[in-house]
């Protein structure tokens, strides 16, 4: 018997989102299957954050069809999708341990032991206050929280942007530590070189649309170049 391909976890058709006169997403189509780490790439302002926010159920005023494991964005899809925004969303005066309690209260699928393990893996302590942490340390706390949900879809917006090059690999290792093959990880980034080894597929955007997508190995073979080189060529 031939093996059936896994049904798409993310299904998007004709997605359009405007902010006043600005069209951030323009009739965008996208299908993404589970078991992949996918890079969401593109130049500033091409719509990556807007797309992640629609998928996360944060932005509702769009047109088109969006499904997360068959659900339109809403309470059921939010229960399946863990979103890491590109801005700090935790109370400044809180200790890391309190943030774990917040997540435990808020998300039934939050696995506090995994979060504790990641906090330790990142060299942080639960007693540390966020306001006493560097930008990179806060990002690590937020990543530990977002990646410790038992979610099907992980949506990470620029997770390593505030982190020095030496610490980036530790963060990426931490992100992959809890990743399971039934889920899907969509990461927006400009740091293609740092993420290249981690990515199974990429979605390259331009002006609110998907310009190019595919498996990284296929793209590398087709172009005879690294993903970083392809990215530079495409966006030159």
Residues that bind ligand ATP (CB under 6 A): 19, 22, 24, 42, 44-50
Residue nearer to ligand ATP on the CB measure, 85 or 97: 85
Residue nearer to ligand ATP on the CB measure, 49 or 213: 49
Residue nearer to ligand ATP on the CB measure, 16 or 111: 16
CA dist., res. 143 & res. 177, Å (int): 11
Nearest distance from residue 117's CB to ligand ATP, in Å?
30
Nearest distance from residue 193's CB to ligand ATP, in Å?
16
Residue nearer to ligand ATP on the CB measure, 19 or 89: 19
Residue nearer to ligand ATP on the CB measure, 24 or 175: 24
Nearest distance from residue 207's CB to ligand ATP, in Å?
9
Say which residues have a Cβ less than 8 Å from residue 4's Cβ, sequence separation at least 6.
Answer: none
Nearest distance from residue 33's CB to ligand ATP, in Å?
23
Nearest CA to 44 out of 202, 227, 206, 170 is that of 206
Q: 139 vs 117, 159, 168, 200, CA distance in Å?
A: 16, 7, 11, 23
User: Per the structure block, which two tokens stand in for 233?
Assistant: 């060529």
Q: Dump the DSSP string for 199-223.
A: -SEEEEEETTEEEEEEEHHHHHHHH
24 and 36 Cβ atoms separated by less than 8 Å: no
| Tokens 């390593």 sit on residue | 160
Nearest distance from residue 161's CB to ligand ATP, in Å?
9
Nearest distance from residue 51's CB to ligand ATP, in Å?
7
Say which residues have a Cβ less than 8 Å from residue 184's Cβ, sequence separation at least 6.
Answer: 9, 10, 32, 33, 34, 35, 36, 38, 152, 153, 154
Q: Is 28 helix (H, G, I), strand (E, B) or coil?
A: strand
Residue nearer to ligand ATP on the CB measure, 48 or 152: 48
């Amino acid at each position: 018997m031939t093996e059936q391909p896994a049904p798409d976890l993310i299904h998007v058709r004709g997605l359009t989102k405007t902010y006043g006169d600005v069209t951030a997403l323009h009739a965008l189509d996208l299908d993404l299957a589970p078991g992949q780490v996918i890079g969401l790439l593109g130049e500033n302002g091409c719509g990556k954050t807007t797309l992640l926010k629609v998928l996360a159920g944060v932005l509702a005023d769009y047109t088109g069809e969006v499904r997360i494991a068959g659900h339109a964005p809403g309470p059921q899809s939010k229960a399946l999708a863990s979103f890491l925004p590109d801005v700090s969303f935790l109370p400044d005066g809180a200790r890391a341990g309190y943030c774990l309690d917040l997540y435990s209260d808020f998300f039934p699928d939050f696995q506090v032991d995994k979060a504790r393990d990641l906090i330790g893996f990142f060299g942080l302590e639960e007693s540390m206050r966020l306001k006493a942490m560097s930008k990179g340390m806060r990002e690590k706390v937020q990543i530990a929280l977002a990646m410790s949900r038992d979610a099907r879809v992980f949506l990470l917006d620029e997770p390593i942007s505030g982190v020095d090059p030496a610490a980036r690999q530790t963060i990426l290792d931490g992100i992959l530590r809890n990743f399971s093959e039934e889920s899907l990880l969509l990461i927006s980034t400009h740091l293609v070189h740092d993420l290249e080894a981690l990515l199974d597929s990429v979605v390259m955007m331009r002006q609110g649309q998907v310009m190019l997508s595919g498996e990284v190995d296929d793209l590398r073979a087709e172009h005879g170049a690294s993903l970083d080189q392809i990215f530079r060529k495409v966006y030159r």
